Amino acid sequence: MSQQPSPKRPPSSRERPDVIAARKVLAEMWPGPARASSVTLLKALHVLTREGGLNLDTRRKLKQVLHLVQLLRPSLDALLAEGTDPVIADLGTGKSYLGFILYDLVVGPAGLGSIVGVDVRAELVERSQALARDCGFERMSFVAGGIADTVLPNGRADMVTALHACDTATDDAIRFALRHEAKVVALIPCCQAEVAALLEQAKPSPIDQLWRHPLHRREFGAHATNVLRGLVLEARGYKVRVTEFTGLEHTLKNELILATRHQQSNPLARRKLDQFVEQLGVRPGLLDVMD
């Protein structure tokens, strides 16, 4: 019997040279071997070059996001296990590296849950919408608007993330989380200027040497802001953990405030918050959520 020629098949993903190259450069970072579709996504996000090499400009971002995904994974898995199709809101989403990678690694494979990216920059939102469509990420969508004014359908966001949302946009993310009664809140604050400006005008205090010099005022102001953010979340019923989220070599804005709701409110944390505000001698805008 004469042998039939084997039918011509399109090359398998394993044979794509860019995928082979990408797997090599991602070997130490990506959880497991990267799928061909992940390589296509990372190329579209300009994390990988066309040939599958690592783009040095976005390398740090990739490392940050992958660390963050690892840290968020237990909370996210717990939400997905509830089987209630959780909504994850990524606020100040920018180019949405976090949203896309979360979808690619967790939400997409889980077959449930959705991700909504919110950003005030309409052109970024349009680009991300097109990319989500091209990738077939059907449960990923975007809203062009300010965090402060956005309400998601049915007022629902189970998890809120805000990675380096500028200045007081992180406070807007807290207000958003409280408004939507989010179960999990993950904040990686960016630079912060509000409290430093308030401290400059503050009346004399026994601890005002902490912020006499502008550099100390900026650093202490940012630190005090994050302390306040943690206390506000605690007072509003969240259990709060504050950790570094990645190596300092990848970003200086390296603080993760991870909060999980476990009660309606916490009167002890409320008292600690009030005492801290009293000692500081200034009232940042975020305190409006306690009124």
Ligand X SMILES: C[S@@+](CC[C@H](N)C(=O)[O-])C[C@H]1O[C@@H](n2cnc3c(N)ncnc32)[C@H](O)[C@@H]1O
Q: Which residues bind ligand X (CB under 6 A)?
A: 92-95, 97, 118-121, 124, 146-147, 163-166, 169, 172, 190
Rounded least distance, CB 190 to ligand X, Å: 6
- The residue (of 97 and 211) whose beta carbon lies closer to ligand X is 97
Residues in the chain: 291
Rounded least distance, CB 98 to ligand X, Å: 6
Amino acid at 204: P
Rounded least distance, CB 160 to ligand X, Å: 12
44 Cβ contact partners less than 8 Å away, ≥ 6 residues apart: 131, 134, 135
Region of residue 136 (phi > 0: left; psi between -120 and 50: alpha; otherwise: beta): left
Rounded least distance, CB 128 to ligand X, Å: 10
Question: CA-to-CA distance for 159 and 174, rounded, in angstroms?
Answer: 11
- The residue (of 18 and 167) whose beta carbon lies closer to ligand X is 167
Rounded least distance, CB 62 to ligand X, Å: 11
168-171's contacts with Cβ under 8 Å and 24+ in sequence apart are 168/192, 168/194, 168/285, 168/286, 169/91, 169/92, 170/229, 171/229, 171/284, 171/285, 171/286
- The residue (of 78 and 124) whose beta carbon lies closer to ligand X is 124
Other C-beta atoms lying within 10 Å of the C-beta of residue 251: 20
- The residue (of 13 and 58) whose beta carbon lies closer to ligand X is 58
- The residue (of 119 and 234) whose beta carbon lies closer to ligand X is 119
